[in-house]
Amino acid sequence: MKYNFSCSTSWNGHKAQEKNITGYDILHEIKDLGFDQVELNYNVTEQTLREMYPLLETGEMKVSSLHNVFPKASEEYGPSSILLGFEDQYKRKQAIDYTIRTIEYAKALGAKGVVIHSSKIIVCPEDDEYYNKELRRVFLKYGMDSKEYKDTCNVAMAIRQKKSKRQTELIIESLEEICDYMFKKNIHVKLGLENRAMYHEMPDEEEYRMIFDRLTDEPVYVWYDIGHGEMLNQLGVFDGFKVLRKYRNKLLGVHIHDVDDRFLDHLAPYSVSNKLDNYLDIIDLAPIKVLELSKNNTSDMIKTGVEQLKNKLDEL
């Protein structure tokens, strides 16, 4: 592919749980879409990875990137966990070790980068996603300019802000330990800190600033998820374009997917909107370009969406 697109196993990795569907089959299905690169995500098990080796070792499929934690770990160290921001020292050390394991696999598989969900702030212990769900509900019912939404947003952001600095410090300490290990082991894999889909997940603009101010010379970069950015931009709680403007030179990769106005994401490009038009220069700039799609997309939807994306990039 001219634009060197990669496709994440987020699309079809779930099939590994089905009878007679192997890791080889999963990779071959992605290859049949026209991709020669894959991002192996956090649901890929060691067994599934072993089954992929025939295509990986021959070079028929290459690994663009890995999504931490890889291979699959427990949900406590999964995509929505506190991970590098655990206050508990044992849990944070375990998260660091899991991340180092992902980096070691990235080196072995020839991946250029590792996507990392840094952490999240616990804003409501009884229901971790309560305020995020409330923001979306009130936004859809009353609109951004309503008093109801502004009041809900002010409360949610105030709670988040109280815990942000300490949580960011823990992320930085974890990344320092990880980068120190990489330096000692002469590992040249880049780490991409992904912007997330929910308002209490990290990092936001200020947290990116704190991290990059402290880790100036470390292999730590921005991984920009376009769908996530669009959803939080819509809610007015994250300025993704500000992050992209400020850290263009720190952009490692992008997750490309469409998103509708009711916060349904991981859709094939241009399947429900033209929002990707606002990111064509960023997609063009990103060294690693990954289609991160859900299982709800058909092969035809993906092929059509990628073709549209390629045509628009050609017009730049």
Give residue 19's pLDDT: 82
**16 burial class (0-12, 13-18, 19+ CB within 10 angstroms)?**
buried
Q: How far apart are CA 8 and CA 10, in angstroms?
A: 5
Give residue 40's pLDDT: 98
Q: How far apart are CA 316 and CA 314, in angstroms?
A: 6
- Ordered domains of the chain (ranges, CATH): 5-123+167-314 (3.20.20.150)
Q: Are 76 and 264 in contact (CB under 8 A)?
A: no
Give residue 1's pLDDT: 45
Q: Are 287 and 248 in contact (CB under 8 A)?
A: no
This prediction has a pTM of 0.97
pLDDT tens across 85-132, in order? 999 999 999 999 999 999 999 999 999 999 999 999 999 999 999 999
Structure tokens of 143? 């609109």
How do 37-40 and 62-67 pair as beta strands?
Answer: parallel
Give residue 50's pLDDT: 97
Within 10 Å of residue 300's Cβ, how many Cβ atoms?
10
Within 10 Å of residue 43's Cβ, how many Cβ atoms?
18
- Return the amino acid letter for 208: Y
Residues in the chain with pLDDT values less than 50: 1
